[in-house]
Structure formats: C-alpha cells, structure tokens
Structure 1
Amino acid sequence: MNKKTRKKALLTEGKESSVLIRMSIPMAIGILSLFFFNLADTYFVAKLGSKPLTALGFCLPLTLFLMNINLGIGTGATSIISKLIGEEKQELCLKRTIAASYLFLSVLCLAYVFTVLFFLKDIFYFLGAAEDTVVFIKAYLKPWLLGSILLTLLMLTSAILRATGDTKTPSMIMLCAGIGNACLNPLFIFGFYSIPAMGIKGAAYATVLSWGIAFIFALYLLQKKSGLLNFKSFKGATFFKDIKPVLKVGLPAALSNVLVPLSSSVLTWFLAKEGEVYVGAFGIANRLEPIALVVVIVLTASIVPFVGQNWGAGEIKRIQRGMLFSFKFVLIFEAVVALLMLISSPLICQVFTTDLPLRESLETYLYLVPISFGLQGVAMLVTSFLNAFQKPLLASLIIIIRLLLFQVPLAFIGIKYMGAPGVFLGKSIAGLLSGLVALLFYHFVIKEKLLEQNKSNQS
C-alpha cells in the first residue's frame, strides 16, 4: 500500500468518538449542501410559474431513483474499498475494484438514461401529467438526464474519498457545487447580458455544469491525495471478479433505498383519501425530516468506512465501541430534537403556511412522529454497520421490515380507525419498532464477529 493511501487509513487509530465526530462534521456540510442544491432549483423555477414548478415535481421520482441507485452502489464501493485499505495489502486489487466500479456505474447510468428518454412521454402520461406540463418536463429532464453521468461519477468519486477516511474533501466539493448551482440558476433561467433566458431548461444546464466542475475537482483531488486512480490496471478478464464484491453490497442497498420513496408514495395515497390538506402537511414534513435527521445521516455515512477499515485491520472491539458511542449520541441528540420540535411546532407551522387546517395537520405530525427519530436513527446506523460488514441482505431486511412490515400496515390500520393522524402515528410506531429490531440484528452480528476474532487469535 503506497504512502498516500496509508496516510488516509487512519480510522483504525485514535479515540473512536473523536474519529467519528471528525468525519461527521464536514460530511454534515456536504449533506446540507445537497438540500441547498434542490432548494435553489425549486426556488428559482417557482418564479417561472406553477406549470414549471409542477413539472419539476413530476421529475422528482425519476431523478431520485437514479440518485438512490448511485448511493447504493457507492455504499458497496465504500465498504469494499475501505476494507482493502484497512488490510494494507492487495493494492492492485484495490485499484482494479475502483476502475471496475467507474465502468459499471457509467454503463448502468447510461442504460437508465436512454431507457427513460425512449419512454419519456409514456411515463409522464401514465403518471397523469397534462400535455402542456409534459412540454416543461421534457425541457428540464432531457438535459438533466444527458448530464446525469457527471452526477453518477461525482457521487462515486465522493464515496471513494470517504472510503479513504477523507470526508472533508467531498463535503467541501458539494458545498462549492451547491453555491455554484445557486449562482448559475438565475443567470441561465432568466438570462444575463449575452446569456439567453432558457427558462426551466436553464435550471437543468446550471445543475449539470455544477456537477461537471465538481467532478473534475473531485477526481483530481482523489488522485492527488491517494494515488488510487489507475485505469491501466483495469482488466476485462477480471471485471466480474472485481465488481462482484461491490455489487454484493451495493445492489441490495440500492434496491432497498428505492423502497423509501415508494413507501412514502403509499402513505401519500392514504392521506389523499382524507383530503389534500393532509398531503400538503406530509409534503412539508418530508422536507423537515431530513434536516432533523441530518446528524444521523452523516453518522451512517461515517460508519461504513470506519467499520470497513477497522474490520480489515481486525479491530472488532474498536468497532463495538464506536457503534455504542453512535447509538448513545443519536438517541440523546434526537430526543433533544424531538423536544424542540414539539415546543416550537406552532412557530414552525407559521413559517410554512398561514392556512389553518394545514397548520393543524402539520402540528399533529410534529407531535407524533419526531419522538421516533432516535430509534429510527439507530436502525439507520445498524443498516450502515451491516453494509460495511458486507451483509447487505440483513441491512435490506431492516429497511423492508420498517417500511413494508411496520409502516405501511400500521398506517393502513391507523387511517381506518383514526383518520389522517393514524397515518402519522403508524409511521412513528414503525420507526420505534424498527430501531428495536435493528438492535437485535446488531447484537447477533457483533457477537458473531467477536467470536470469529477470538478463534482467529487462539489459532
């Protein structure tokens, strides 16, 4: 393992809590930058009128689908690469794995793009988009899709950087990309001097250009900091062997990620039967929830390289201490968040709407759901822990249990007996129960790994 890479294999050293906090703080900046990215597009497109904004809403499922696939494969890459770095050997295998990941994800992205473009009209007519809305959808989605290969490669490069233990670089790159997108949006949408006004199409061009610049910088910094990029090491004969471990973790993670928006769609369908006001409240709540869970999200991203490197180095006890710290921190932090959301719920509702029924619906959500964020966060941590240990089916099972076994049935029962508040209550109970189930999964897997290490030490 060369010196550049070894410098980044630092997750096996130092106090576990300090390492995880050091990784998570810059990552929080990156996650918040992604929220800012989406907010900028929505804010400026809204100024074009309701039709372009509606078109942007119709595009969301297709854009989120690709992002979730990228995140899943990126999780697989982070898991395998961080383990190889922790082992401090097989550098050629490490470089071949990285090269194979770039090739596979590029081909997958292009296949998705051309499939969607071919069926574009049919997809949105099926979803119920009007003819005049489809015009705006095509104007935005065509350049977005054609440029999405840059997003795919940027997300993979960021995942590889995190696998080396560097969370600061990808976070700062995403922050700069978010700021760049916000600056380019008004120029491309409304025009500026020699730049013509492009309307909703300009929002897509601004986004793609931001991705492109960010990807070039990320690729340059990855090579400069780690020296891991070597596409000459790629061998067609070993491609399937190199990509198989990544897909073993990445594909189940990607497929389980896709369940989240699907489950949310089912709950939206339930609420629509009770009235649009509840759908509106649920929509606002879905934008608030990621912000309330941002600490959990960054910790889950930090857990994968932390577990991977320490597993590769044989430091199972260190992993156990890191996970216990993460559980305690998330439970305490999210308890405070839930209390603050409960106390400030009237103020939060006033910020988003002046409509009284909508405010009352949102307040009901804020009373019932945030109490589950702590144990829901534990479930998210255990999912990352299992992915890092290359147990993707168990990780996917936790998500399936939460969404399909608990959330959808409990929401169905809730709406039958309590109306719309029953959906919120069902979602809350599902979060609590999934956290308890996840803790059982964690207990059995960490016990198994400790026994394996003891046997290895004795022999």
Structure 2
Amino acid sequence: MTSKTAAQAARFVTGSTLRHVIVMAGTGAIGLMAVFAVDLANLFYVSMLGDTSVAAAVGFAGTINFFHVAISIGMTIGVSATVARLLGAGQSAKARQVATASLAFMVLVTVVLSAATLLLLEPILDVLGATGEARELTRQFLYITAPTLPLLAIGMCTSALMRSTGDARRAMTVTLTAAIVTAILDPILIFGLHLGLTGAAISNVIARVALAWVGLYGVARANRLIGRFQARRAWDDVRPVLKIALPAVLTNLATPVASAYVTHAMARFGPAAIAGQATIDRITPVAFALIYALTGAVGPIVAQNLGAGRADRIRETILNSLGFVLATVALAWLVLAFAQDGLIRAFSAQGVTAEIISTFCSWLVASYAFVGCLFVANATFNNLDRPLFSTIFNWGRTTLGTVPFVAAGIKHGPIGVLVGQAVGSAIFGLIAMIVAWRVVRRLPMVDCARLARRHADEPAAASVSVPGAAAGNTVAPEVQ
C-alpha cells in the first residue's frame, strides 16, 4: 500500500465527527440489521411450527453461540484498534502484517473453541437448564452449526478490518450478503423441504460460508490489507493485538455470562418463558442495530484520531455518540410501543410469552439508553488503553448488576427477572459513561501527539501503548 493510500485510509482525522459517526454506524447498522432480522425471521418461521420447544431450543442455542460471538468480538476489537492506530500514524505496511497474522490466529482459536463446545455440550446444557425435547433439539442444532463458528469469526474480523480503514460500505456488504443468503434459504429449507429446525441450521451454515468468502475478498482484494502470512513474525505481529484483545475478550464474556444466568432463571418457568426471552433477544438487535453498530463505529474514529494526536476530536466523537444513542432509543421505544400487538400476533405468542413481549415493548425497552451508554464507554476505554475500566464495569454489571437484581425479581415471575436485569444494567451503564467522560476530559493533546510520534518511530509491537496507561492494562470493546 502506498503512502498516499495510507493517508486516504486515515479518513477520520478530518471532517465532521458527527458525520463519521452517522455514516459508520448507519452502514454498520444496515448489515447488522439484515443479519439480526434474518435471525428474527428464523424464530418467526420456527414459531409457526407451533412448538414452544423448538423456540426454546433456538433460545438455548443462541445463548451458547453468544459466548463464541463475544470472544470473536473481543479479538476483532484488538485487531481493529491496532490496525486503525497504525493507519492513523501512517504505518500501512505494519497494519497489513498485523491484520494478516491476527486473522490466522483468530481462525486457530475459534477452531479450538468450536471443538471444545461440542465435547462439553452436555454439561453446558445442564448449566443452562435445558431439558426434554428442547434439549435434544438444541443438541441437534449445535452439532450442525458449531463447526462453522470459525467462518463466522472470519467474517466478523474482515468486516472490522474494513471498518478500521473507513471502508464502511464493503464492511456492510459482508453481513448483508450472509443475511440475503439466509433469507432466501430459510423458508425453502424449513417449509419447502420440511426440515424444520434442521433446515434453519443448514441455512445458517451456508450463510457463514458466504460471510467468510465475501469478507476475505473485500479485505484482501479491495482493501489489500491482507498479505502473505509470515510464520516467523506472526507472534510479534499478534502480540500487540493480544494486549488489547485479551482484556476485551474477558470484558465481552461478561454479557453472555449474564445472559446465561438470566436464561437459567427463566428456565424454571418453562419453555414458554424461554420462548418469550428468545423473542425479545431477537427483537432488540433489530430495533437497536444502530446502537450495536455504534461501538464498531466509534472505535476506529477514536483510534485514528488518537494516532493523529487529536484529543479534541476524540471528545467531540464521544459527545456525538451519546446524542446518537439517546435519539435512537427514543425512536425505537416509540416504534415498539405501537408495534407490540402486531409482534405478539406474528410470533403466535400466548400467555407468558405474550406478556414478556408486551412488557418489554412498553417499558423495558427504555433501559437500552443505558446499555448504549455502556457500549460507548467500552469503545472509549478500549481505544484509549483503559481496558481495565471496561472489564470492571462489564463484569460488575454481570455480577452485582445482575445476580442480586434477578434473584429479587425471580420472586415475581419471568417479568420480575427481566425488570431486575434492566435495573442493574441501567445503574452500571450510567456510571460507566460518567467515568468514560472523565477519562476523555483528562486526555491531553500533547499525549496524543507523543503517541503519534511513537507510532512513527517505534516497532509495531510497541505501537499499542498509550501514555498514562497502567502497566498490563489492555483493551475491551464493543459489540457486538
């Protein structure tokens, strides 16, 4: 990549930060919304089969997959942050080396994790409280889909790499392609060939193949950010990424742990409660795709401006992101409040399932304003080398912000479980955002400038450090 190309790649260091946030979040949301909408469609199709055990199986499998996605997100955060900083500092050759080695490392890790999931599937299902037919269906679904989790990781990593260069359109295309493939195959396999949940699993596999292929093409051919893998240098290239990725993975695992705990709590109220939870778990990513995409949008903008020594633009980006979160939640709340009856009918929800959907759409959806604050705070901590804060707040929300509140709410049924989870998330999201803003306010421009010079003068292995970061601190991020 020429120096001119590298300069063009660092496109976030000039222009309106609000426009960058909107464009990056908007294009990212289109891809995410497409994927999550198809995931929602999966649940819609299987719910038409009229068996709550099938819907519950989708919920249990989704909780397990959530762990893999969280790990992959944590690793892509490290890759994206490191590559974006190198591009911001004008070090395009190092950026390519890091991207290539990191992608290979992600594949290796996810292959091991996929194998471990299948080997330990029975005790995992025991922990989640899966029983009876729902347990057997979950097992069948994961036996088909779990081996393709490395393909999902490739798609996520390549999409993040394209976002780190500012190529939001191609990053969106990666997830959009997988969504289109799934949307076409789902009704054919589930109903046309009468394969039911197995058809949904096969559709999932084929979509992941498309996801990985389009992602690799975009990164390697269009952005030329993937080069020849050099085994001798691989560890040196991956090491600075792991300094960010390992704490990010640890932080991101907090969310699926909390989700697993809530799923376990819901399981005692039967398949109908699990089906209700599974439904809102698939409504929220569609309704809040902009917020989920925002973490991926904020990271590269902050990282490039950090590499360029622009503390003022970092502060401006965070403020714009917060305003974006509040506007998005307000709009989603309004839409879901009016659409709840249609959603209940669409998913053939009755009894407890319908009550859960109605309560969420009427009131609990507002809690996502605080979830959005936590996402923005995580992106800030991750890219300013304050990952310890992300770890503290995410795991704080998972433990102190989930267990006691859900334990208190469980006495009032499945609705009480959801209310308890929402209250705990609100408390930790608000505190995290306050701390993140204090970190940004104290970020002196001179330190940013010093970091930019270090990126230009020091080897890649040292280019991840930020002045003032505590020894051993590393990153944590977004999400999704």
Give the TM-score of the pair, scaled to structure 1. 0.85
**Residue in structure 1 matched with residue 219 of structure 2 by the alignment:** 222
Residue 313 (1) aligns with residue 314 (2):
no
Shift of 1:344: 5.5
**Residue in structure 2 matched with residue 60 of structure 1 by the alignment:** 62
The correspondence for 2:248, drawn from 234, 245, 253, is: 253
Aligned pairs, number: 450
The correspondence for 1:380, drawn from 367, 375, 382, is: 375
Q: What does 1:264-343 correspond to in 2, within 5 Å? A: 264-271=259-266, 279-342=274-337
The correspondence for 1:355, drawn from 347, 350, 372, is: 350
**Residue in structure 2 matched with residue 146 of structure 1 by the alignment:** 147
- Distance 1:97-1:279 versus aligned 2 partners, 3 A rule: same
Distance in 2, Cα, partners of 1:121 & 1:422: 29
State the percentage of identical aligned residues: 27
Task: Give the secondary structure class of the aligned counterpart of 2:400.
Answer: helix
**Residue in structure 2 matched with residue 448 of structure 1 by the alignment:** 442
**Residue in structure 2 matched with residue 16 of structure 1 by the alignment:** 17
Distance in 1, Cα, partners of 2:132 & 2:367: 42
Shift of 1:131: 7.9
**Residue in structure 2 matched with residue 433 of structure 1 by the alignment:** 427
Q: Are 2:44 and 2:347, in contact at CA under 8 Å, matched by a contact in 1? A: no
Q: Rg: which structure is higher?
A: 1
**Residue in structure 2 matched with residue 105 of structure 1 by the alignment:** 106
Distance in 2, Cα, partners of 1:172 & 1:435: 31
Shift of 1:6: 3.1
Q: Are 1:249 and 1:391, in contact at CA under 8 Å, matched by a contact in 2? A: no
Deviation larger for 341-350 or 159-168: 341-350
- Distance 1:205-1:305 versus aligned 2 partners, 3 A rule: same
Shift of 1:172: 1.8
Shift of 1:298: 1.6
- Distance 1:209-1:335 versus aligned 2 partners, 3 A rule: closer
- Distance 1:356-1:446 versus aligned 2 partners, 3 A rule: same
Shift of 1:314: 0.8
**Cα RMSD after superposing both structures:** 3.3
Shift of 1:136: 5.0
Shift of 1:439: 2.5
1:235-293 CA-partner distances (Å, limit 9, x unpaired) = 42x33332122222222222332222321332344455567765554443333322332
- Distance 1:377-1:144 versus aligned 2 partners, 3 A rule: same
**Counterpart amino acid of residue 74 in structure 2:** G
Distance in 2, Cα, partners of 1:353 & 1:46: 7
Shift of 1:17: 0.7
Q: What does 1:86-105 correspond to in 2, within 5 Å? A: 86-89=88-91, 91-105=92-106
Q: Are 1:144 and 1:204, in contact at CA under 8 Å, matched by a contact in 2? A: yes
Give the TM-score of the pair, scaled to structure 2. 0.82
Deviation larger for 418-427 or 431-440: 418-427
Q: Are 1:4 and 1:225, in contact at CA under 8 Å, matched by a contact in 2? A: no
Deviation larger for 370-379 or 54-63: 54-63
**Residue in structure 1 matched with residue 37 of structure 2 by the alignment:** 36
Gapped regions of structure 2 (runs ≥ 5): 454-480
Q: Are 1:5 and 1:226, in contact at CA under 8 Å, matched by a contact in 2? A: no
- Distance 1:393-1:5 versus aligned 2 partners, 3 A rule: same
**Counterpart amino acid of residue 7 in structure 2:** R
Residue 178 (1) aligns with residue 173 (2):
no
Distance in 1, Cα, partners of 2:370 & 2:127: 37
1:96-139 CA-partner distances (Å, limit 9, x unpaired) = 21122122111111111222333445554675656876765555
**Counterpart amino acid of residue 320 in structure 1:** R
Task: Give the secondary structure class of the aligned counterpart of 1:11.
Answer: helix
**Residue in structure 2 matched with residue 6 of structure 1 by the alignment:** 7
Deviation larger for 35-44 or 170-179: 35-44
Shift of 1:216: 2.2
Residue 371 (1) aligns with residue 373 (2):
no
Distance in 2, Cα, partners of 1:272 & 1:189: 26
- Distance 1:105-1:127 versus aligned 2 partners, 3 A rule: same
Distance in 2, Cα, partners of 1:450 & 1:102: 33
Shift of 1:302: 0.2
